[in-house]
Amino acid sequence: DADVTQTPRNRITKTGKRIMLECSQTKGHDRMYWYRQDPGLGLRLIYYSFDVKDINKGEISDGYSVSRQAQAKFSLSLESAIPNQTALYFCATRSDKPPYEQYFGPGTRLTVT
């Protein structure tokens, strides 16, 4: 079974709709992250959480919000989706042991029309 799962894997939505992307992990890690990937731009950090009470904005948090429901669950919401939020979204967790690897989920491909 996958250690980091994301649902849905693909989503098409319309401008103005609210949507939620969900992430679950079985690795027992406290630290979780949300990234978006765009061609030619690499991965950019949206939000990150060091535990259920500690949530921080990343470099591109505008238009997004998150919820850390439990150690294992970290959700990303788009309150009012817009076309330039069309991207591939990844959730990740991070180990507290060397080499402090980040483990990525399989991604959610989001299209906003």
Partner 1 sequence: QQQVKQSPQSLIVQKGGISIINCAYENTAFDYFPWYQQFPGKGPALLIAIRPDVSEKKEGRFTISFNKSAKQFSLHIMDSQPGDSATYFCAASTGPILTGGGNKLTFGTGTQLKVEL
What is the closest distance, in whole angstroms, from the C-beta atom of residue 57 to partner 1 in the complex? 11
| Nearest residue to 48 (alpha-carbon basis) of 87, 80, 74 | 74
Question: What contacts 61, CB < 8 A, 6 or more positions away?
Answer: 46, 47
- Say whether residue 92 binds partner 1 (CB under 8 A): yes
Calculate the alpha carbon distances from 19 to 31, 62, 63, 109, 112 in Å.
Answer: 23, 15, 12, 13, 10
Cα–Cα dist 20/88, whole Å: 14
What is the closest distance, in whole angstroms, from the C-beta atom of residue 16 to partner 1 in the complex? 29
Site string for partner 1, 28-57 (x = CB under 8 A): ---x--------xxxxxx--x-x-----x-
- Interface pick for partner 1 out of 52, 58, 60, 65 (rule CB under 8 A): 58
Applying CB under 8 A, the residues found at the interface with partner 1 are: 4, 31, 40-45, 48, 50, 56, 58, 90, 92, 94, 96, 98-107
